Structure 1
Amino acid sequence: MTDPQAMNEAQVHASRASEEGSAAIRAELSALRAEIASIREGLSDFGSETYAAVRERAGTAAAYVQEETSSVAGVIREHPATATTLMTLVGGIGFAIGYLVASTSLEQKQAWYRRYYS
């Protein structure tokens, strides 16, 4: 019927194929692990460089804002009446714009039954 030697050879061949496939999978897994480690290292370097650059730019921006604030404060101290007039004018313009926007977006309030008379 079936030859025991042929069956044994088939089992040996299947075992070898399984071992070769297993070894290939192990090799691929180790290559993927190495690649993931490389990517992590690159991202960590990129993150630290980005943090340093952002920190430097933020410090420069803060210094610039502080200088400009001092300059504006100096001008206000020298000309308080002009500063008060300017702030009042800006506030009035802002109020007028807000009022116009609110009045144009406001629905006309009327009794509910009046809409049926027109």
Structure 2
Amino acid sequence: MTISEVSKKYDISADTLRYYERVGLIPRVNRNKSGIRDYTEEDCGWVEFIKCMRAAGLPIETLIEYVTLFQQGEDTLELRKEILIEQRKQLIEKLNEIKTTIERLDFKIERYNNLSVKHKI
């Protein structure tokens, strides 16, 4: 796939894809004879993974570290697993904070709903 096809498929700009590759968020993408990036299914898997992780708020630095370790091979399995476990833990903490905030908002909204009903009577 060309960079424009990948850009369209994952709704990511071509500039972002180039940036991801340049900083090491995705492994280097092979190029065809004309020098145009030729994304494989595996490359697309990395794009999808990084997009998902960034959407969840994982730091770029952490993801670069993960990809770098991945490229170093199987000797880094445990380190990669530790990164994922730590990021999962942080996401669960954020999720709990968000749930608490939603509960507080629901409470406040309900109070406004009750005030509206009282003023209509």
TM-score range, shorter chain: 0.3 to 0.5
TM-score, normalised relative to structure 2: 0.38
TM-score, normalised relative to structure 1: 0.39
User: RCO greater where, 1 or 2, for CA within 8 Å and sep 6 or more?
Assistant: 2
Larger helix percent = 1
